[in-house]
Chains A and B, each alone.
Chain A
Amino acid sequence: MNFKHKYFFLFPGLFVLIGILIFPIIFVVRLSLSGWNSYNPGLDYIGLENYIRLFTDDPRFWESFFRLSFLSVTTVILQYVIGFALAHMVWKDIKFKRFFRVLFLVPMMTTPVIMTVIWRTFFHESLGPVNDLLSVFGVAPKWLTDPVIAKFTVIIVEVWQWTPFMFLLLLAGLLSLPKEPFLAAAIDGASPVRKFIYVTFPLMAPISIGAIIIRLIEASKIMDTVYVLTSGGPGTSTETSSFYIFIKGLREFQMGYAASMSFTYLIIMIISLTIIAKVLTKVLLKE
């Protein structure tokens, strides 16, 4: 019997895949080989000129990339630690468990841009309430205008916004854990700390790896927080790769060059996240 007609059923999915994934990537690659900008619109062909410029004459891109690496790794580590602690807390039988579970999710349900505007108001150095409160202790940090502190301000906002996502994944993981290893640990008289180190944490390793990788992918695209909070400043101290690509592409309209940066960034992210996933698997799963 001829079953070739079955391939027709693949077409709808294939069309969608080509339309939303394959075509945009191919277009970005083609765009990156062109000099498309505000005064020269169109897909002309300039070879690898944009890539040569990126690798030989644009230290700002690489600075922003290393800054991004610092910001995303720091935020994800903090989100993981806090998220795990919160998930562990409401996993246990505590009072108002349901209330806390919902409460911890609230930041994630808010609109990032709007919340960042609110955070910017909080951290406003002359009008914001944070420095008003801190002035009681005689301190007034320059939350948004000091190149070092501004980085930590971005981290605070990112951690606040996205820890609930980590919390959600880890709580789901905790709830799906088998009960037997915990019963066995209890029979052996293991203390809560030992139970966590030797039972909970290892059992959560696969889920932790997934959660960390998902968050790293998201954190590496950090854009709206920087855009609203600092516009990449003071100077370039909080400028990340995605914000820099945004400036080059949509502010300066250097479409071809921005495409070459986007594609390079995509390749770097695929390679680095693959390495990170391998390392995490090796360390946490002890493979």
Chain B
Amino acid sequence: MKLMKTCLTALISSLMIFSPMAYADKWSDQFPHIKATGDIPGDCSYEKMSKKNYKGKTLKINTHAIPVMGEPTALHAEQFEKLTGAKVEVTHTPAGDLYSKAMVPFQAGQAPYDVVFGFSNFINDWKRYLAPVPKKYMNSPEMKDVTKSHMGVSSWDGTMYQYPVDGDRHYLKYRKDVIDNPEMQKKYKADTGNELRVPRTWKEYAQMAKYFNDWDWDGDGEKEYGSAEVMKKDDLMFAAFFSRSVAYAKNPRTPGGFFFDLETMKPNINNPGFVEALTDWVEATKYVPPGGTNFGLGDEIGSFGGGQTLFSFSWDDAFIAAMQDDSPIKNKVGAAPLPGADRVWNRVTNSWENQYNQAPYIVWGWAVGVAKKSKVKDMAFDYLCFFSNGANHQADLAIGRFGVNPFKNSDFDPNIYINSMGWDPEIANSYTQTLLDMEKSNNRVFPLRVPGVFEFTSAVATGTSKALAGQLSPQEALDEVAKEWEAIVSRVGKKAVQDAYAVGVKMEDNKL
């Protein structure tokens, strides 16, 4: 009897241990997308989803155009259909129209889409039309794996409205084969008297970018340039500007607001910290490729990913593009935190503090919610849970064009990138360490998430683009932005903006 019990226990244990592998074989045969890992057990795994029956029900999704986020949405919709019997209709929409395509029916009290994709900074405007993520998903092991930053980005004052499917932040990408090259280091030192290293400050970044601008430094027969940046008006350029501003204007010793002074709601956007950043940015127009001041995100990805520039900074995509198998610079790039500054503005004392400062920018990224008026909310949340289950998530991370970036603690394991994507271990380590350090930083800046957020960011885009085009000086441009921000605050209502902004400030001040 005792022997039988032991055998039975051993059998059950081995079944429990090896069952995931058994599922992996079974599911990866049907769904080659997850062939690297097979199914990974979890609340929304392939196995679990196959037990759901949504036959006769239709799920309507509005997502981004293919490929970024649009392709994984469609792919997982197809898989979800096969597993559950549901019918999933996917509509693809350009990025600029995602907000209004959902907002117009939302405001008219309709729900033409059950699931709406957008950006995480839509949350304040959208939250009243979205269903909070139910507890059962909140308590799932997958959700517990989401980083604190991205739980915060997806939530509003403790309630999660956007299901985490992506994690975004801005960081520096550089050509490792140049910066770490002893010959280049020697040449740079001889010519400039400075060390060639991963830039610690924006001033160093500018010096190196200028030096490596407009000549063929990699010997491919074509000229290379200093930096690729998103400078095209209205094409996410405001986010690039904030990335350059955090070093000068996010002072860890002056909590209470990066964009505004939370107490008075006076905009900080035209203080000397931001002006210094914009002055640097205007200078950067001299070391971008020809036409670089009209680069949108796609151009930036193509430029750095194609080996045209020494530096770049923004979302993961340019780095992933550079590390794809078909890239001419695979395993020749490095990731590092955004450059800092040798001085930082103190808005309380109205003076510069002459000490090194660096601040990560946890920029907004892809987000998705379920319409409050949807009649198939359970199915919608199951779809989102399935979208980001362990197997899908790991497979999606490996495909640069999908636009799915790390947002789970387990994503910071360099082995994922070494084993499944063929990255050089040193690069994989620097990449994951860079992302991890941003999570751990106590001086982070989160995206502005206040009512009418687009009015604020649009004003920044207009003002900064005028400075880049030489229509206004940096100070004049940002004074104009500050005036516009004050007018917006007054139109929206100071209290409404202040209350919303307080939530973001709590996150920045590490109080949430």
A residues adjacent to B (C-beta < 8 A): 35, 37-42, 57, 60, 124-128, 131, 140, 142-145, 147, 230-237, 247, 250-254
Contact = CB atoms under 8 A, between A and B. Distances in A.
Contact of A251 (B234, B291, B308, B468): B234
Interface residues of B, number: 38
21 contacts: A39-B452, A125-B289, A125-B290, A125-B294, A131-B290, A145-B293, A147-B471, A230-B294, A231-B296, A232-B234, A234-B465, A235-B465, A235-B469, A235-B472, A236-B471, A247-B234, A251-B99, A251-B458, A252-B455, A253-B125, A254-B455
Contact of B291 (A124, A232, A237, A250): A124
Contacts of A124: 291
Given A140-B290, A233-B294, 8 more contacts: A38-B452, A38-B454, A39-B125, A128-B291, A142-B291, A147-B469, A233-B232, A234-B294
Nearest to B296: A231
A127 B308 CA distance: 10
B393 interface: no
B471 A253 contact: no
Nearest to B492: A39
B100 A253 contact: yes
A232 B455 CA distance: 17
Interface of B: 96-97, 99-100, 103, 107, 125, 225, 232-235, 289-294, 296, 303, 308, 451-452, 454-455, 458, 462, 465-466, 468-472, 487, 491-492, 496
A236 B462 contact: yes
A231 B299 CA distance: 14
B233 A235 contact: yes
B458 A247 contact: yes
Given A39-B125, A251-B454, A237 B290 contact: no
A194 B292 CA distance: 51
Contacts of B458: 247, 251-252
Contacts of A231: 232-235, 296
A252 B469 contact: no
A143 B471 CA distance: 17
Contact of A253 (B291, B294, B454): B454
Contact of A144 (B294, B452, B470): B294
A232 B235 CA distance: 11
A252 B294 contact: no
Nearest to A41: B107
A247 B451 CA distance: 17
A237 to B, nearest CB: 6
Contacts of A232: 233-234
Contacts of B289: 125-126
B473 to A, nearest CB: 12
A173 B487 CA distance: 53
Of the candidates B97, B107, B291, B470, the one having the most CB atoms from chain A within 10 angstroms of its own CB is B291
Contacts of A230: 233, 294
Cβ-closest 4 pairs across A and B: A125-B291, A235-B469, A234-B469, A233-B233
Contacts of A251: 96, 99-100, 234, 454, 458
Contacts of A145: 291-294
B334 to A, nearest CB: 23
Nearest to B108: A41
B99 A253 contact: yes
A237 B232 contact: no
Nearest to A40: B492
A119 B87 CA distance: 40
A126 B227 CA distance: 13
A252 to B, nearest CB: 5
Contacts of B233: 230-236
Contacts of B496: 39
B492 A235 contact: no
B482 to A, nearest CB: 15
Contacts of A57: 487
Contacts of B294: 125, 144-145, 230, 233-234
A124 B292 CA distance: 9
A147 B470 contact: yes
Contact of A237 (B451, B471, B487): B471
A60 B458 CA distance: 13
B238 to A, nearest CB: 12
B454 A252 contact: yes
A236 B290 contact: no
Contacts of A235: 233, 465-466, 468-472
Given A38-B454, A142-B291, A250 B100 contact: yes
A147 to B, nearest CB: 5
Contacts of B232: 231, 233
